Amino acid sequence: MLRNTIQSLWRVSMQALLLMVVMGTCSLAEAEAPNTVVIKNFMFSPMDVTVKAGSTVTWKNLDGEPHTVVNDAGLFRSSALDENDSFQYTFDKPGVYKIFCGIHPNMKATITVQ
Ligand SMILES: [Cu+2]
């Protein structure tokens, strides 16, 4: 009876440990690609990104259609990004930066730099 209880407690704690390891691995994987915006299904994802001044943001196009990354204030404009192409820009100054796709101007996003 006592032995069964100890065995089930042991099993539960091992499962909890395994879960913590799995969750730890997941958060580590997220940390490897910070400040990345994917372009998929004619949308920037996420649409709103907040980064610290000095951060580099990477946009990666996962669509089969070309897209561009354009700042509405004319700060930067990528060339047409084909599937799996990416574009990077480093935001030095705090502010709110509006982004759109030059080919599909209804595709919009915002980068907030703190
Ligand atoms: Cu586009």
Peptide bond connecting 94 to the previous residue in cis, omega within 30 degrees of 0: no
Distance 18 CA to ligand 1 centre (A): 42
Instruction: Give me ligand 1 centre to Cα 71, in Å.
Output: 13
| Range 26-34 contact pairs with CB under 8 angstroms and sequence separation of 24 or more | 33/58
Task: Give the pLDDT confidence of 42-77 residue by residue, as tens digits.
Answer: 999 999 999 999 999 999 999 999 999 999 999 999
Per-residue pLDDT of 27-42, as tens digits, reads 444 444 579 999 999 9
Cα 44 to averaged position of ligand 1 atoms, centre (Å):
9
Residue 69 Cα to ligand 1 midpoint, Å, equals 8
Closest CA to 69 of 34, 95, 107: 107
What pTM, to 2 d.p., does this model score?
A: 0.71
